[in-house]
Amino acid sequence: MSKNKTQKWWQKLIGQKMTASGWLSFFVFGLGQLKNKQKGKALFFFAFQFVYIAIEVLTSSVVTGSLPGQPEYWGYGFFRKSLYGFITLGETTGGRFRDNSPVMMIEGIIAIFLLLILFVIWIMNIRDANESYLSYKRTGEIQSSKEFYKEVFETGFAYVVSAPALILMLFVSILPIIFSFLTAFTNWDAYHNPPADLIDWV
């Protein structure tokens, strides 16, 4: 993809050219909003990045520690380990540290889904920082934290109420379908039967 096409794609994704506030939120969620003096909104977006980082750190060997003979990738955080497992489908069989290819595939699917959600929030965070700054330049007014949270509650209430049902549908219906579809691209057969054996992508 050429540089011009990349720039056009990015501009279409965020809605307009990048401002200083947009670039700040590009690197740290909510930092652009903080520059725009929207502390409540900054805290809202930063909370998402903080939770994801916390999950990664708290599930890694940095916090949980490691056992003697444990494979290095077993000490990765949830997202890194899940993506690594999704790509490799496991490396060790037998013994204390046995990989289970189907479980690693499922964990990888969940990690990819959660990272896609984070990507959407990241884009929303950048777009909001840009739009708030440009709106302030035009009108001289900035949305208060109270107004923002009221807007979030009014527009997002339906999503919050339906979220449990959507999550249940994801795990009960969608996840098994994706898993079954992906297994068609592996060598899972009578000679490669987890958990006794590992499977590979073909």
Unique residue bearing structure tokens 């920082």: 129
Half-sphere exposure of 121 (CA within 13 A, CB side): 20
Strands (E), the chain: none
User: How far is it, in rounded angstroms, from Cα 29 to Cα 162?
Assistant: 26
Quickly count: other Cβ atoms within 10 Å of residue 32's Cβ: 29
User: How far is it, in rounded angstroms, from Cα 17 to Cα 33?
Assistant: 16
Instruction: pLDDT tens for the chain, 202 residues: list them.
Output: 566 676 677 777 777 778 999 999 999 999 999 999 999 999 999 999 999 999 999 999 988 888 888 888 889 999 999 999 999 999 988 778 899 999 999 999 999 999 999 999 999 999 999 999 998 888 888 888 888 888 878 887 788 788 888 888 888 899 999 999 999 999 999 888 888 899 999 9
Contact between 82 and 59 (Cβ < 8 Å): no
Q: What is the pLDDT of residue 126?
A: 94
Give domain limits for the chain.
Answer: 27-183
Report the run of H or E that residue 57 belongs to, with start and end.
helix 39-58
